Amino acid sequence: MRTQVAIVGAGPAGLLLGHLLRSEGIDCVVVERQTGDYVLSRIRAGVLEQVTVGLMERLGLDARMKAEGLPHDGFNLTDGGRLIRIDIAALTGKQVMVYGQTEITRDLMEAAPERGLEVIYEAADVALHDVESDAPFITYSRDGAQHRIDARIIAGCDGFHGPSRQAIPASVGRAFERVYPFGWLGVLADVPPCNHELIYANHERGFALASMRSPTRSRYYIDVPLTEKIEDWSDERVWDELAIRLGPDAAAHITRGPSIEKSIAPLRSFVFEPMRHGSLLLCGDSAHIVPPTGAKGLNLAASDVHYASEALVRFFKANDVDAIPGYPDKALARVWKSERFSWSLTKLMHRFPEDGPFERRMQVAELDYIASSEAARTAIAENYVGLPV
Ligand code: APR
Ligand code: PHB
């Protein structure tokens, strides 16, 4: 098979890119290792920046998001007794949209056939070849047969563990990484949220987040040491811990119920440079990871795809040979700013095992400053709603 862009991975990055290219009449094929059902079973964050909402609008795939998503005007930080509201609507004139990443993926997946976007699921042993040349190709096996897709460009949208980043020789790439000494234990439950807006809490027992998917479905997190086993966390134990860490006001409004999903995810900051090598572009988690504090993962994948699709349109439709080489710098400038914000919100809201009383006083002082300064709240708000692309 021959196409213009071979896309590896049908997560949000790969599907969004595929749709944007198809909407411009550019040929592409998406190759995914898992089944569609498996891709939809992964539960991830659910706060969308304007750039992500805007891409869904541009594709005309925003109807369900507009009907079921929850626009939020603000969110809250709490530290013991006080609740600091970050009024993002008043401070930035913008909103964020609470809508699960799973739902975005489903909307993109379901629209693929009618938009002429071919997605090949259950492709095993996907390998990238000749990425340094102008005629790269991918190979995979499916149903016992070997397949080959020849392309002009390969887009690596295959997440942190996929083969695309590995196809860039170690001599030309550089990875920057910070691993955190805790993970987030998340629970999803069909109970009403304890608050109409998100609450990020820094308690002496650790971090907690009250989030939601809908008026009847809640998503909560606590941070736990990486040595913890999920089997040791009964639902009751998680609810008890949430009630303590979120504080008495929120606790009074927590509705408990059986978890429908419960898992522990490690936290990591990671950036791989450059995000292009020859005819290979990296988008989304294949090139970078953020800790979930601030919910930037999906939104960064969306901004990468925005820059990548722009570059590919200029390349294929206007023969602009500078477009592809220009992609990494544009994407990385925004990636590093989101990395900084996610890292700083993580530092502010978690108790690190290596921190002592001095670091704790720094957190208190920073929260005092945020509570008292509109300039400080504006800086947080403009990062939370998403920096411009
Ligand atoms: N061959 C084909 N596909 C692969 C391979 C492979 N060898 N390895 C991984 N994939 C697929 C995965 O199965 C997954 O469906 O690539 C896809 C990558 O999707 P995500 O991990 O969701 O990454 P991305 O699309 O960049 O999304 C970025 O969404 O999933 C979140 O945490 C992620 O929030 C971040 C954002
Ligand atoms: C979520 O709802 O899953 C969520 C929200 C905000 C975050 C992280 C996760 O910062």
Q: For residue range 79-117, what is the model confidence (pLDDT) as tens digits? A: 988 999 999 999 999 999 999 999 999 999 999 999 999
Query: From the CA of 297, how far away is ligand 2's center (Å)?
Result: 10
3-class secondary structure, 278 = coil
| Edge-to-edge strand list for the sheet holding 28-31 | 118-120, 28-31, 5-8, 153-156, 280-282, 276-277
Q: Is pLDDT above 90 for 44?
A: no
pTM over 0.95: yes
Mean pLDDT of 245-274: 97
Query: Each residue of 125-143: pLDDT tens digit?
Result: 999 999 999 999 999 999 9
Query: From the CA of 334, how far away is ligand 1's center (Å)?
Result: 20
Query: From the CA of 281, how far away is ligand 2's center (Å)?
Result: 28
Is the beta carbon of 156 within 6 A of some atom in ligand 1?
Answer: no
Q: Residue 81: its pLDDT value, please?
A: 81
pLDDT category, 43, cuts 50, 70, 90? confident
By DSSP bridging, strand 82-86 and strand 75-79 are antiparallel
Domain ranges of the chain: 5-72+96-177+268-340, 181-267+347-385
CATH homologous superfamily for the domain 181-267+347-385: D-Amino Acid Oxidase, subunit A, domain 2 (3.30.9.10)
User: Which residue has its alpha carbon closest to ligand 2 atom 7?
Assistant: 295
CA distance 235 to 241: 10
- Return left, alpha or beta for 93; rule: phi > 0 is left, psi -120 to 50 is alpha, else beta: left
User: Which residue has its alpha carbon closest to ligand 2 atom 3?
Assistant: 45
3-class secondary structure, 316 = helix
Q: Is pLDDT above 90 for 365?
A: yes
Instruction: Just give the CATH number of 5-72+96-177+268-340.
Output: 3.50.50.60
**Mean pLDDT for the chain overall:** 97
Distance of CA 155 to the CA centre of its chain: 18
Q: Which ligand lies nearest to the CA atom of residue 297 in the structure?
A: 1
User: Which residue has its alpha carbon closest to ligand 1 atom 36?
Assistant: 298
Q: Percentage of the chain with pLDDT > 70?
A: 100
Q: Percentage of the chain with pLDDT > 90?
A: 98
Ligand 1: which of 33, 47, 335 to mutate, most ligand atoms within 8 Å of CB? Answer: 33
CA distance 47 to 386: 11
